[in-house]
């Protein structure tokens, strides 16, 4: 900070004093007296002249430049009260108030030249020139009125800001409520969807059964079903609606219900799936389709007769881990064409054999390095498993999937259905 | 997933979508196909050489594009398509695939998409096949 205090020739100082409205009417002898006692100060921009709360014993008259009057300087409540310019005076409050403290801070807003008047000289001047005191009182009154108006305006602005903040708060609260409602409804949808899956697997003598479905989102497009058919037979379904979320879940619910109804009255799995395709086609679900494998396990004949509609091929293996050949025919998902190409086949499951149906969420499970689990790895895991039951096999595979996935997000629904012949 | 669109000229104009990254969403691919169709594209080749795998969303997008480009010509009627797929004589004349990776090809085959979409290994032959 550069401060220059100059003692100018009295003629020059008198000329400057004449330019100040407050002193313009003073007689020559008073001007002489003032010129003898006042000092000329020069400050660069940004100079802090005094700080609110400090003791003040002098008044300044601005000859040139401008000074910002600031309340609560350096605090979150800092506020510019006013900017005083040429011909105005500052610092008079501490000379007028009883405690002599600065009521605001002052900082130069431009290179500024000031005249400095001490408390003693100020009081002497006021005593000798009541008209000057009167004029000063008028200025003070105007400043008080301005300050009052400013305070009112400030209050209005604060009220408006408060009202806006309150409205925003209400809006945010409404959004939070809507999001919470949506979350609650999704949780409810998930519960409903989970309840659509078999709550208890059928008891099939000579077999252990296991099934797991882990949706990637609150609700998913995968589903499975195991239901008793006549003659001790068991219907087994795994399906995957393309997509995730609520649309896929609704389509999944529709597909699952229709297929179970058709399974009960169809002569073969293929007939049931063709009927399902007609139902879905007639409902015209835009862009949605479903891959399905539906089979009938005959525990007496030890066969699994199935139809596949664009779904993953099943895996089957003997007790010693030897793969049981599975036809690799071609088939198209249900819902794509009016008459889909389907693949029907029958597998024989000797004692100790295991059958695994799964969705592509298993083989497409991705690790943090984006590597897919893949079909080859799944076959290795399945054929090499020593799990004691179908359910244990599902849990073992899920644990391996979780380890493979690590911290990576689950990309797709994961479904496993296993049957093991005793 | 990034999609780069280019034009090629065989016997007919062909719009080539070079896709980079796994196809795990249907939205972007369907939107790009729709925009190309609205701009006049009637034949699309999907270059899958930089697609490590295709999720079910990708299959959905492929079917969407297949349906978008399908015309009302007699050889593309429901009956003709079904008979042609069953006999192995029908593939879409308007949507074809180029060089899918092993994973992507597996997904296409499991879902039977190779029954109605031609899969090419050579770019020039693929363009010439339209």
Report residue B72 CA to chain centroid gap. 18
Question: Token pair of A28, please?
Answer: 């020559």
According to the model, what pLDDT value does residue A5 have? 47
Residues 56-95 of B with CB under 8 A from A: 56-57, 59-60, 63-64, 78, 81-82, 85-86
Q: Which CATH class is domain A198-421?
A: alpha beta
According to the model, what pLDDT value does residue A284 have? 60
State how many domains chain B has.
1
Query: How many CB atoms lie under 10 A from the CB of residue B27?
Result: 10
Q: Looking at residue A325, what DSSP letter applies? A: P
pLDDT tens profile B6-41:
999 999 999 999 999 988 888 899 999 999 999 999
Is residue B104 within 8 Å of B52, Cβ to Cβ?
yes
Q: Which CATH class is domain A4-128?
A: mainly beta
According to the model, what pLDDT value does residue A286 have? 66
CA-based nearest distance A345→chain B, Å: 15
For B56, the domain range is: 2-128
Distance from C-alpha of A122 to C-alpha of A38, rounded to nearest angstrom: 10
pLDDT block averages, 10 residues each, chain A of length 422? 51 77 79 81 94 91 92 90 89 83 93 90 82 78 81 87 91 89 80 83 94 83 91 94 76 90 93 93 73 96 96 96 95 88 96 96 88 92 94 97 92 93 92
Distance from C-alpha of B74 to C-alpha of B11, rounded to nearest angstrom: 21
Query: Does residue B93 surpass a pLDDT of 70?
Result: yes
Name which of A335, A338, A360 to mutate to probe chain B: the one with the most chain B Cβ atoms within 10 A of its Cβ: A360
Is residue A295 within 8 Å of A259, Cβ to Cβ?
no
**Unique residue bearing structure tokens 């998913």:** A220
Is residue B19 within 8 Å of B29, Cβ to Cβ?
yes
- For B115, the closest of A341, A370, A412 (CB atoms) is A341
Distance from C-alpha of A307 to C-alpha of A273, rounded to nearest angstrom: 8
* Gyration radius from chain A CA atoms: 45
Question: What ranges do the domains of chain A cover?
Answer: 4-128, 198-421
According to the model, what pLDDT value does residue A24 have? 77
State the ipTM, two decimals.
0.84
Distance from C-alpha of A227 to C-alpha of A200, rounded to nearest angstrom: 10
- The angle subtended at Cα B8 by Cα B3 and Cα B9, nearest 5°, is 160
Query: Does residue B74 surpass a pLDDT of 50?
Result: yes
Distance from C-alpha of B114 to C-alpha of B97, rounded to nearest angstrom: 9
Find, in chain A, the residue whose alpha carbon is nearest to that of B115: A330
Q: State whether B82 and A313 contact (CB < 8 Å).
A: no
Q: What is the DSSP string of A104-147?
A: SEEEESSSEEEEEEEHHHHHHHHHH-HHHHHHHHHHHHHHHHHH
Query: Does A313 contact B at CB distance below 8 Å?
Result: yes
List, edge to edge, every strand of the sheet that includes A290-298: A222-228, A234-241, A290-298, A303-309, A343-348
Q: Looking at residue A215, what DSSP letter applies? A: -
Q: What are phi and psi of A97, to 5 degrees?
A: -80, 155
Q: State whether A338 and B63 contact (CB < 8 Å).
A: no
According to the model, what pLDDT value does residue A179 have? 87
CATH of the domain at B6: 3.30.750.24
Residues 29-48 of B with CB under 8 A from A: none
Strand pairing class (B118-120; B95-98): parallel
Q: What is the DSSP string of A230-293?
A: GGG-EEEEEEEESS-HHHHHHHHHHHHHHHHHHHHH-SSHHHHHHHHHHHHHHHT-TT--EEEE
Longest dimension (CA), chain B: 36
Distances (CA, A) of B24 to A38, A213, B4, B28, B107: 82, 20, 17, 10, 12
Q: Do A4-128 and A198-421 have matching folds?
A: no
């Amino acid at each position: 900070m550069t401060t220059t205090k100059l003692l100018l020739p009295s003629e020059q100082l008198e000329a400057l004093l004449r330019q100040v409205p407050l002193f313009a009417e003073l007689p020559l002898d008073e001007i002489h007296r003032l010129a003898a006692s006042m000092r000329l100060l020069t400050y660069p921009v940004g100079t802090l002249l005094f700080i609110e709360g400090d003791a003040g014993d002098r008044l300044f008259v601005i000859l040139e430049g401008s000074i910002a009057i600031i309340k609560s300087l350096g605090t979150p409540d800092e506020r510019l009260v006013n900017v005083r310019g040429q011909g105005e005076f500052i610092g008079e409050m501490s000379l007028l108030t009883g405690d002599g403290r600065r009521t605001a801070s002052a900082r130069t807003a431009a290179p500024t030249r000031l005249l400095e008047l001490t408390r003693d000289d100020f009081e002497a001047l006021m005593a000798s020139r009541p008209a000057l005191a009167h004029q000063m009182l008028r200025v003070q009154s105007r400043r008080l009125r301005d300050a009052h108006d400013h305070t009112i305006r400030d209050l209005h602005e604060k009220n408006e800001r408060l009202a806006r903040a309150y409205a925003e708060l209400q809006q945010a609260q409404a959004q939070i409520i809507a999001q919470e409602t949506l979350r609650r409804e999704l949780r409810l949808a998930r519960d409903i969807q989970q309840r659509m899956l078999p709550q208890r697997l059928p008891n099939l003598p000579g077999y252990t059964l296991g099934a797991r479905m882990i949706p990637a989102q609150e609700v998913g497009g995968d589903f499975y079903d195991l239901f008793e058919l006549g003659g001790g037979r068991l219907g087994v379904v795994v399906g995957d609606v393309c997509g995730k979320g609520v649309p896929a879940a609704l389509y999944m619910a529709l597909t699952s219900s229709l297929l179970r109804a058709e399974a009960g009255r169809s002569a073969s799995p293929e007939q049931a799936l063709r009927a399902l395709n007609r139902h879905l086609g007639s409902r015209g679900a835009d862009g949605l389709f479903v891959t399905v494998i539906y089979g009938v396990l005959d525990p007496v004949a030890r066969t699994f007769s199935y139809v596949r509609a664009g779904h993953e091929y099943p895996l089957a293996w003997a007790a010693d881990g030897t793969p049981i050949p599975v036809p690799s025919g071609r088939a198209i998902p249900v819902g794509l064409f009016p008459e889909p190409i389907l693949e029907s086949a029958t597998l024989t499951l000797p004692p100790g054999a295991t059958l695994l149906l799964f969705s592509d969420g298993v083989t497409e499970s991705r690790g943090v390095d984006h590597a897919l689990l893949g079909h080859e790895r799944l076959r290795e895991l399945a054929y090499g498993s020593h799990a004691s039951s179908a359910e244990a096999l599902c849990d073992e595979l899920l644990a391996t999937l979780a380890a493979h996935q690590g911290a990576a997000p689950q990309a797709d629904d994961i479904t496993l259905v296993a049957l093991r012949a005793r | 997933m990034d999609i780069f669109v280019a034009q090629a000229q065989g016997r007919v104009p062909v719009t080539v979508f070079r896709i980079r990254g796994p196809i795990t969403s249907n939205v972007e691919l369907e939107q790009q196909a729709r925009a190309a169709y609205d701009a006049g594209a009637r034949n699309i080749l999907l270059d899958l050489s930089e697609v490590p795998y295709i999720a079910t969303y990708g299959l959905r997008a492929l079917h969407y594009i297949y349906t978008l480009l399908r015309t009302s010509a007699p050889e593309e009627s429901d009956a003709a398509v079904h008979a042609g797929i069953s006999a192995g004589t029908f593939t879409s004349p308007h949507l074809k695939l180029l060089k899918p990776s092993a994973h992507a090809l597996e997904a296409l085959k499991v879902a039977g998409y190779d029954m109605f979409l031609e899969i090419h290994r050579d770019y020039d032959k693929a363009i010439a096949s339209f």
